[in-house]
Each structure stands twice: as C-alpha cells, then as structure tokens.
Amino acid sequence: MRWILLLVFLLAACSKGPQADLPYIGQARSLAAEWALVNEQAVEGKLTGSYVQTMRQSAREQLQTCEKALSQPQSDYAQEITAILKQPDDASPAALRAHARKLKRIEDSLESA
C-alpha cells in the first residue's frame, strides 16, 4: 500500500508542461463560460447588481490565479487566458464564449495527446 501511494505521489510530482496545465486550462474555460452566462442573464435583468459584481470579480480573480499557476506562460492557452482577462467586466457573452470554446479545443487536443 505504501509503495502504491509513493508511486502515485511520484507520478503526480513528475508531470510538467501542457499536461500539468490541463486542470488550469479547464478551470479557465469554465470561468470564461460562467462569466458569459452571468453577463447574458444580467442583460436580461434576471440578476441583482451585487451578485453580478461579485461573480465578475470572482471570475477575474480565479482567472488570474490560473494564469499565474501555468508552467508554460508563452503557450497559446496562456495567451488565451490573458486575452480573457483583458475583457471589460460587461464584456459581450459571445466574445467570452468564443474564448471558452478556444480553450475547450486546446483542452480536448491536449487530453487526446
């Protein structure tokens, strides 16, 4: 049992590069899609002001955390996350969803690699 756990720890510690960044790419993809959904519902008048503001702030903060955690800061997915962070708070849902879709494509290609 101890050996299995040690092996698992080693495997987890050894992974680097795009594969190691996969959880952050997935997280960033979801955050962009959540931000888009919030903005879409806000335009329709279905949300309160404080909720919208807090959700946008959370999305931005978590995206920044993802960006900092990446092991490949020059990669195409890192640039995509940076591009999302440059969006204004009330960015159009379509623009945010386009970024989410791009990240999803990168995520899928890395997963199948």
Partner 1 sequence: MNPLELTLGIMTAVGGFVDISELVFAAKAGSMFGYALIWAFALGTIGMSVFGEMSGRVAAIAKQPVFNLMRHRLGLKLGLITLIGSLISTLITCAAEVGGMALLLNYLTGLPYLLLAVASVAVLMATMWVLPFKWIERTYGLLGLLMIVFAVAVVAIHPPWAKLAGGFVPQVPSGLSSKELLNYSYFIVAILSAVLFPYESYFYSSGGIEEGWGAKDLLTNRVTCTVGFGLGSLLAISILASSAQLFGPINVGPEIPGTTALEAAIPFGKTGLLLALLGMLFAVAGAAVETCMSNAYAISQFFGWEWGRHAKPWEAPRFTLAWIAVMLLALLIVLTGVDVMSLVEYAVLFSIIVLPLSYLPLMLLANDKSYMREHANKWLAKSLGWLFFIIVTAAAIAAIPLYLLTSGGGG
- Give the residues lining the site for partner 1 (CB under 8 A): 4-5, 8-9, 11-12, 22-23, 25-27, 29-31, 33-34, 36-38, 41, 45-51, 53-55, 58-59, 62, 97, 100-101, 104, 111-112
Residue-wise burial string across 90-105, b where 16 or more C-beta atoms lie within 10 A, e elsewhere: ebebebbbbbbebbbe
Quote the least distance from Cβ 17 to partner 1, whole Å. Answer: 13
Quote the least distance from Cβ 104 to partner 1, whole Å. Answer: 5
Q: Which is nearer to partner 1, 58 or 75 (CB)?
A: 58
Quote the least distance from Cβ 49 to partner 1, whole Å. Answer: 8
d(CA 24, CA 70): 7
d(CA 73, CA 92): 26
Q: Which is nearer to partner 1, 16 or 101 (CB)?
A: 101
Angle at 12 between CA 6 and CA 14, to 5 degrees: 100
Q: Which is nearer to partner 1, 33 or 70 (CB)?
A: 33
Q: Which is nearer to partner 1, 11 or 74 (CB)?
A: 11
d(CA 96, CA 66): 16
Contact between residue 77 and residue 21 where contact means Cβ atoms under 8 Å apart: yes
